[in-house]
Amino acid sequence: MKVSTGIPDASRAEAVALYWQAFGEKLGFVLGPKYKAVQFIGVVMRSDHGICAHDAQGRLLGVAGFKTENGALVGGTFPDMRRVYGWTSAALRGLLIAALERDVENKRFLMDGLFVAADARGKGVGTALLQELYAEARRRGYTQVRLDVVDTNKRARALYEQEGFEAIGTRKLGILRYIFRFNAATTMVRDV
């Protein structure tokens, strides 16, 4: 397995597909239908805000995204959303997505999603991506990594705890749980 910072152009379509596989259930109501969501993600995905794992044949196994003051793995602007969904639909979708936004802070490096191909799970891909994420955080001068994990993703939570992340707070979604299909997100941090 080869882990590197940046998403190569040749892996971009795979990265978009894996992102939707991982987060489609959570984001489906807001970004769907699938063909529109994949189009939008393809437009806004920042290759310079991702860390990739590839197998020996060059197949993308997983990605860890991060967020900085310059952008996020999957962010985008209102004009990006408007081009895909139209003005009215983009306005409503933008408001809903804003409810999930996490701030960028100067103290901690913010992980912005980790996703692994279904057939590569349980094989150390997530751990390898996290190790490179820690290295990226150190290269940028950070001493901690921060992430949010949703209550419905027990497997991810277990990985983060195994990696030494500690919970520092939980944010409940309230009525928005019916839209995003999870009840709460726990913020976790780890020294690097």
Supply the pLDDT for residue 83: 97
Tokens for 53? 């794992």
* Tens digits of residue pLDDT in 173-190: 888 888 898 999 999 999
SS (H, E, C) 24-90: HHHHHHHHCCHHHHHHHHHHHECHHHEEEEECCCCCEEEEEEEEECCEECECCCHHHHHHHHCHHHH
Per-residue pLDDT reduced to its tens digit, 66-105:
999 899 999 989 999 999 999 999 999 999 988 877 676 7
pLDDT in tens, 5-54: 999 999 999 999 999 999 999 999 999 999 999 999 999 999 999 999 99
**Residues near 2 by Cβ (< 8 Å), separated by ≥ 6?**
53, 54, 56
Share of the chain above pLDDT 70, in %: 99
**Banded pLDDT at 111 (limits 50, 70, 90):** very high
SS3 15: helix
Domain 2-141, CATH: 3.40.630.30
Percent of the chain residues topping a pLDDT of 90: 85
pLDDT at 158: 96
Domain boundaries in the chain? Answer: 2-141
Residue 98 pLDDT: 86
> For residue 116, what pLDDT band results from cuts at 50, 70 and 90?
very high
| Residue 110's pLDDT band (cuts 50, 70, 90) | very high
pLDDT at 178: 83
Q: What is the pLDDT of residue 102?
A: 67
Pairing of strands 109-116, 144-150: parallel
Provide the mean pLDDT of the chain. 94
